Amino acid sequence: MAPKMEVKCGVDTCHYWKSSYCHADNLEVNPQGDGKAHSSDGTCCTTFRRI
Ligand code: SF4
């Protein structure tokens, strides 16, 4: 069974954002740039959709 978790998010320009939380059914996060993340700056929410 897939895990369920609450996702707090500060990206208020995303279609799925509402009152500081993500309301997307599924979330995908991937490394940016060369594909090897070394800090949180190297990660990116792929599910983001603009309003
Ligand atoms: S899809 Fe990503 S950017 Fe959009 S509200 Fe959810 S966590 Fe934030």
CA 20 to chain centre: 12
47 lines ligand 1 (CB under 6 A): yes
Q: Return the pLDDT at 3.
A: 83
Q: Return the pLDDT at 9.
A: 98
Residue whose Cα lies nearest atom 6 of ligand 1: it is 22
Q: DSSP code of 41? A: G
Task: Locate 13 and state its tokens.
Answer: 């320009």
Residue range 9-35, pLDDT digits in tens: 999 999 999 999 999 999 999 999 999
Residue whose Cα lies nearest atom 3 of ligand 1: it is 48
Domain segments of the chain as ranges: 1-51
* Distance, CA of 14 to CA of 38 (rounded, Å): 25
* Distance, CA of 29 to CA of 43 (rounded, Å): 7
Which atom in ligand 1 lies closest to the alpha carbon of residue 21? 5
* Distance, CA of 25 to CA of 39 (rounded, Å): 26
Q: Return the pLDDT at 1.
A: 77
Distance 6 CA to ligand 1 centre (A): 11
